[in-house]
Amino acid sequence: MTQIDEKLEPILVEVLHRNAGEPEFHQAVREVFESLGRVVAKHPTYIEHALIERICEPERQIIFRVPWVDDQGNVQINRGFRVQFNSALGPYKGGIRFHPSVNLGIIKFLGFEQIFKNALTGLPIGGGKGGSDFNPHGRSDGEVMRFCQSFMTELHRHLGEYIDVPAGDIGVGKREIGYMFGQYKRLTNRYESGVLTGKDLAYGGSRARREATGYGATYFVERMLGTKNESFDGKRVVVSGSGNVAIYTIEKVIAFGGKVVACSDSSGYVVDENGIDLGLLKEIKEVRRERISEYARRKGSGVEHVAGGSIWDVPCDVAMPSATQNELTGRDARVLVKNGVIAVGEGANMPCTPEAVSTFQKAGVLFAPGKAANAGGVATSALEMQQNASRDSWSFARTEDRLAQIMNNIHDACAETAEEYGAPGNYVLGANIAGFVRVADAMDALGVI
């Protein structure tokens, strides 16, 4: 673990103490603190004006009961969360996650990361995150709709296009966004398109939003590889997950000439040495909502399905963890390094454990942290807000061009900041400092609020 600067150490101890029992939040905060020593040495006002303490304390946290009735007529109770972390740069912005593992600590870790990620995009958006411990797997459309309506019945009073603008995340795609937008519209009697992003094209969605996180992560890693005169062309790539981020990462890697040989879901992974058949994967995951084993069953011989186990045992040149937090451990990182990995790009939020990150950095593997590499999703959400506000709808090409430009800018800001602070090639440090400085300067200008 990297040493924390002596001025920051007591602040960290206090943050950990005040937020007991939230290990993922602690992990995310510690990682940012590890990068800030050189910043506070240069700019003591960040300590004097308590900007670091303030940034670690959410502006508002909402926790609520979500009652709904299942198809058998039983009453079910879930818990809903929205953490409105920081609005110095714009309305709170960040996704909603439906997964049984969701708790306050996980939403706080995601909201905290979101502050810096959103700042890195250069767009006027603050940071927030929400979700519920509801598990959509195995639920009928009717059950998902009733859950989403109940969730929004409470949440709607805290949202607004100038207040807080949620989007999707794990377990929340265009179906769930549609049900939530419908209920918001009914409750408020307002057609406020800009209150949610990730909407369907039929009612105010943006072209390329569905693709944006995966495409954006691939653009980032392609540019990072370029700093070593490398590219995806001809590379063997492993992408974990098979949800929104993973599928569109696979699509763009293929477009850049790479071959994706493995992907996964929470039940296991598949290895297809001919390259993942994207059409089949989309049908299984986006249309039929089936398990990944179905891919191997449909392909027949030559495709291996491994139940459980680690997808990171599959040798590759580039690894793109795109499923969930802490899915790639120190042990996995050592296997990847032994197998010759040259670059790792985090499509998911915090998928690599701190031990894995330091293993990659020590081995000289190019490493792109999620808060920079997966910022394309939220950036395109901000473009969706822009289109909604101007009652406009951009072409796919125009939106993707903006996305590519934003990802290249984020890459360059991270690389230049790392260089400026004496750690060339350290994208973790570059992302943390560049994001932090933008938010902290805005907070400072707004006074003590």
Q: Which of residues 186-225 bind ligand NDP (CB under 6 A)?
A: 213
Distance CA 292, CA 297 (A): 9
Residues 6+ apart with CB under 8 A from 345: 217, 218, 220, 221, 224, 318, 319, 320, 368, 373
Residues 6+ apart with CB under 8 A from 433: 35, 36, 38, 39, 417, 418, 421
Q: How far is CA 334 from CA 117, 280, 429, in A?
A: 28, 32, 22
Considering the rule CB under 6 A, would residue 435 count as an interface residue with ligand NDP? no
Least distance CB 3 / ligand NDP (angstroms): 28
Distance CA 227, CA 366 (A): 10
Considering the rule CB under 6 A, would residue 377 count as an interface residue with ligand NDP? yes
Q: Which of 28, 53, 17, 20 is nearest to 111 (CA)?
A: 28
Among positions 153, 183, 374, 417, the unique one binding ligand NDP when judged by CB under 6 A: 374
Among positions 243, 345, 369, 430, the unique one binding ligand NDP when judged by CB under 6 A: 243
Asked if residue 431 lies in contact with residue 120, where contact means CB atoms within 8 angstroms, the answer is yes
What stretches of 121-166 show up as alpha helix (H) in DSSP?
141-155
Of the residues 117, 129, 174, 285, only one is catalytic, namely 129
Compare residues 170 and 208 and give the one whose CB is closer to ligand NDP: 170
21 CB neighbour count, 10 Å cutoff: 9
Distance CA 166, CA 194 (A): 10
Considering the rule CB under 6 A, would residue 241 count as an interface residue with ligand NDP? yes
Among positions 19, 132, 206, 349, the unique one binding ligand NDP when judged by CB under 6 A: 349
Among positions 2, 103, 231, 266, the unique one binding ligand NDP when judged by CB under 6 A: 266
Least distance CB 327 / ligand NDP (angstroms): 6
Distance CA 356, CA 56 (A): 24
The site that binds ligand NDP (CB under 6 A) totals a number of residues, namely 24
Ranges of beta strands (E only) in 108-195 are: 127-132, 164-167
Considering the rule CB under 6 A, would residue 242 count as an interface residue with ligand NDP? yes
Q: Which of residues 49-108 bind ligand NDP (CB under 6 A)?
A: none
Considering the rule CB under 6 A, would residue 244 count as an interface residue with ligand NDP? yes
* Residues forming a β-bridge with 80: 64, 132
Considering the rule CB under 6 A, would residue 126 count as an interface residue with ligand NDP? no
Compare residues 325 and 417 and give the one whose CB is closer to ligand NDP: 325
Compare residues 322 and 387 and give the one whose CB is closer to ligand NDP: 322
338 is catalytic: no
Considering the rule CB under 6 A, would residue 169 count as an interface residue with ligand NDP? yes
Compare residues 239 and 434 and give the one whose CB is closer to ligand NDP: 239
Among the candidate windows 14-22, 85-93, 271-279, 318-326, which touches ligand NDP by CB under 6 A?
318-326
Which positions touch ligand NDP (CB under 6 A)? 168-171, 213, 241-246, 264-267, 322-324, 327, 347-349, 374, 377
Catalytic residues, by residue number, are 129
